[in-house]
Structure 1
Amino acid sequence: MVALAATLLAAPVAHAGPLGDDFLWGVATSGFQSEGSSPDSNWARYSASGKTHDKVGDSVDFRHRYGEDIDNAAAMGVDVFRFGIEWARVQPSPGTWDEAEFAYYDDVVRRIRSHGMTPMITLDHWVYPGWIADRGGWADPRTPDDWLVNAEKVVDRYKDAGAIWITFNEPTAYAQKEMTFGGISLGDAPKMFDGLVRAHRAIYDRIHQLDPTARVGSNLAFIPAVFGTLDRSFVDRVTDKLDFLGIDYYYGVSLDNTSAIAAATDRFYDVVPQPDGIYHALMAYHRKLPGMPLYVVENGMPTDDGKPRPDGYTRSDHLRDHVYWIERAREDGADVIGYNYWSITDNYEWGTYRPRFGLYTVDALTDSTLTRRATDAVATYRTTIADGGVPADYRPVIPPAFCSLVDPPASCLASGSSNGSAGGS
């Protein structure tokens, strides 16, 4: 294959222009994946069980180094800092609240806001307390009510923070991981989704009682070609209780790129990126849910343990290519309101530290100082934010796929035209 970093579209490429002052630029992280010093939880147990490649350990110690990460985000000029408040940390046992841990989250929120950034608070990023695991996790009919007790406590505490709220992170992937590691059985999956839906709908109403202007959503894991089927378990059941739909886009599929199969075994670094797929994903939901604001809650590129990609494609290339296609989606009518880069630092990718997604790389397993080292994309993101997008003459490094299967047949028919256009809706 020709080195992707040297591949340019031969014909003139359509361009949409800057994303505008109302567009939200952000970075993302999550609790268990980055905090370290983990309390008892389903994922602390999975990590200790021998079923994962690496144990979580202290991860990148966001719990004690959050100030540096938040400051680094602010220095890039981002508007939004996404993080999670861990249920297992603030409610270690039924009816018991850890005020010291709430004080930690109080300071996280304070520091984010002191920089003029908006906190994006995730209520559930796949982790629940050990005492919930002992009861059967999401297979237990009491879990939705227990979840709501914690969520209402968190929302009541931060109702005046001007936060954007994420209820459940990637519900279908959440259930898949629970089945993989034994939190639920396949037969329990419908019960889990029923619980997630009920909890989402209830906390949505509670947030809006306390702050009628709040923006509340959930982010889905975009799986090419089958996303519509997966939506039936959660998204389709809560669309009337969403102020925006979050979309996490990492890879596409096309007739000339089937490398996404590597994602099935968590070898995300072996996936050949397909940036135009983010356009097709956004346009698919624009068609499905007209008028629904869309927010790219996660997008990023993993490298294999921090090594450069063999094809020469860089994190900066990946960032600019995806921003280009987001601009195109906005131009073609999709109400895309924001973009978060995943993630501010490398972290624990649900069993392994090998995939490195961070704007700042951290050698969690070998560097006791956990030094944050800027990748090339830090400066690129700073410039992109300041400019409101990519330059008007920008040419994507990776051209449109030949017959994209992200949203067939529309994405196939629109792909690979001579001028780089993906088509409108």
Structure 2
Amino acid sequence: MKRFPENFLWGTATSAHQVEGNNINSDVWAEEYSDGSPYADKSGDAVDHYRLYREDIKLMAELGLKVYRFSIEWARIEPEAGYYSKSEIEHYKDVLKVCYDNGIIPMVTMHHFTSPRWLMRFGGWSNPQTADRFAKYCEVVFKELGSLIPYALTMNEVNLPVMLHELFVNFNFKPPVGIEAKTWTAPEWRQSAARSCGAAIDKYFTFHMASDEAAINIIKDAHRKAKEVIKRISPDTKVGLTLALPDVQSIEGGEALADKVWLKYFRQYLDAIKEDDFIGIQNYTREVYGPNGQVPLAEETEVTECGYEYYPEGLAGVIRKVAGELNIPIIVTENGIATQNDERRVEFIKRAVEGVYFCIADGIDVQGYLYWSTFDNFEWTFGYNMHFGVIGVDRLTQKRIVKDSARFLGNLAQNNGLQDYN
């Protein structure tokens, strides 16, 4: 048995919009219902986690999981600027209490891509004042709930807008969030979404669009101000954020380009995160660069439903890169695979976790592994066509279907170790 450190955090992760359902006051809901929307499905009731969270958390505990990472939805807490819903705060208070009642450690994300519709009227993530508005929302939540939150992530994947921009512009991929590749401007359907939010199109600037230097600085400022507020109110809460980090590799002649990409994905955020309590790492695959750019996948390469290369070893690669440049604890806050072949999911988890084990054996301070995702859920513009979950859901009945991968992950948590299969 490959044993992990005592109190290692084993669990799964979700985000509010993807599982709760009926997040009607968010900008993403507006995008789903815009004219010509690129979203494959509308989130609707999602997997009805807003109503079924008690049963869901109990199921996680029964499977043996120890940690549940979920997000508190800003658009629910503050549905209009300056108005904070007491009933929604009480809802999330109960979610936290149900975690404790079932022996589950909660890890809370304060912003997971979605923002309130009203924020778009003020310029969204292009307005420097958004940092203060976000910090105020965090302050309101932590005054009520801070004592129940041991781990907080201010924002999820703050570098994703940069990654999307690089993807669209350099490789001319179809933008899954609906931004035109070459011009990086809002297409017509976004004008419809802006109108739905009561915003002029020049003010409509969602989190996914925040890839220019000014917007990145606003996001960094929002993180710093939110962290300051959280630590002032709840000093014992450990605070960080998450970064989406493919394992950036190179072949001969691609070293300089790979280094430039890593700078954009990771290094440019160091000044904002180097004093955090931990960093959340989120890895799904690798990117390999040559002298002419990203190396395309070979025809025979195994890919996931998302089109990513099946490469669980990428997680250890990223952990080692990050640990070489940042001296704070690491928690794997997302790692997973979209597939309907659950045997390949189990193999993915096994190989990824083994990589984490050897990182720890080499002295790297990795404190947890959270699989994405708890459920097959709403995967943004891909709708319900991606299957990341260790728990399936029949969306006609909302019945939960436990997969073998959920039992495998629960056994890892219960044993705090990985059976040596070699």
- What interval of TM-score do these two structures reach, taking the shorter chain for normalisation? 0.7 to 0.9
**Contact residue 161 and residue 211 of structure 2 kept, 8 A:** no
The structural deviation recorded for 1:141 is: 2.8
The structural deviation recorded for 1:331 is: 0.7
The structural deviation recorded for 1:41 is: 1.6
The structural deviation recorded for 1:380 is: 0.8
Unaligned runs of 5+ in 2: 165-175, 180-185, 191-203, 249-260
Tell me which residue corresponds to 2:258: none
Distance in 2, Cα, partners of 1:187 & 1:165: 22
Tell me which residue corresponds to 2:390: 359
The structural deviation recorded for 1:187 is: 8.7
Unaligned runs of 5+ in 1: 1-15, 396-425
- Residue of structure 2 aligned with 1:337, choices 367, 378, 401: 367
Alignment deviations for residues 125-148 of structure 1 (CA, whole Å, 9 cap, x no partner):
011111102222111232111111
**Contact residue 142 and residue 234 of structure 2 kept, 8 A:** no
Tell me which residue corresponds to 2:169: none
Alignment deviations for residues 50-74 of structure 1 (CA, whole Å, 9 cap, x no partner):
2211111111111101112111111
Change (3 A) 1:318 1:259: farther
Change (3 A) 1:268 1:135: farther
Change (3 A) 1:268 1:232: farther
- Residue of structure 2 aligned with 1:148, choices 135, 144, 149: 135
Residues matched between the structures, number = 364
Tell me which residue corresponds to 1:87: 74
The structural deviation recorded for 1:77 is: 2.2
Tell me which residue corresponds to 1:243: 277
The structural deviation recorded for 1:285 is: 1.0
Confirm whether residue 271 of structure 1 aligns to residue 308 of structure 2. Answer: yes
RMSD: 2.5
- Residue of structure 1 aligned with 2:13, choices 4, 8, 28: 28
Tell me which residue corresponds to 1:131: 118
Confirm whether residue 231 of structure 1 aligns to residue 296 of structure 2. Answer: no
The structural deviation recorded for 1:158 is: 1.4
The structural deviation recorded for 1:237 is: 2.2
Alignment deviations for residues 224-264 of structure 1 (CA, whole Å, 9 cap, x no partner):
3233332244x212133311011001112459x967799xx
Task: Report the secondary structure of 1:285's partner residue.
Answer: helix
TM-score, with structure 2 as normaliser:
0.80
Distance in 2, Cα, partners of 1:125 & 1:245: 16
TM-score, with structure 1 as normaliser:
0.80
The structural deviation recorded for 1:24 is: 0.9
The structural deviation recorded for 1:178 is: 7.1
State how 1:24-423 maps to structure 2 within 5 Å: 24-49=9-34, 50-174=37-161, 176=164, 180=179, 183-184=204-205, 189-225=212-248, 226-233=261-268, 235-253=269-287, 268-290=305-327, 292-303=328-339, 306=340, 308=341, 313-351=343-381, 352-363=383-394, 367-392=395-420, 394-395=421-422
Structure 1 stretches of 4+ with a deviation exceeding 6 A read 185-188, 257-262
Change (3 A) 1:41 1:261: farther
Task: Report the secondary structure of 1:169's partner residue.
Answer: coil
Distance in 2, Cα, partners of 1:188 & 1:269: 22
Tell me which residue corresponds to 1:5: none
Alignment deviations for residues 292-320 of structure 1 (CA, whole Å, 9 cap, x no partner):
101000011111xx3x38xxx52211111
Alignment deviations for residues 141-161 of structure 1 (CA, whole Å, 9 cap, x no partner):
321111111111112111111
**Contact residue 204 and residue 241 of structure 1 kept, 8 A:** no
**Contact residue 29 and residue 343 of structure 1 kept, 8 A:** yes
**Contact residue 22 and residue 43 of structure 2 kept, 8 A:** no
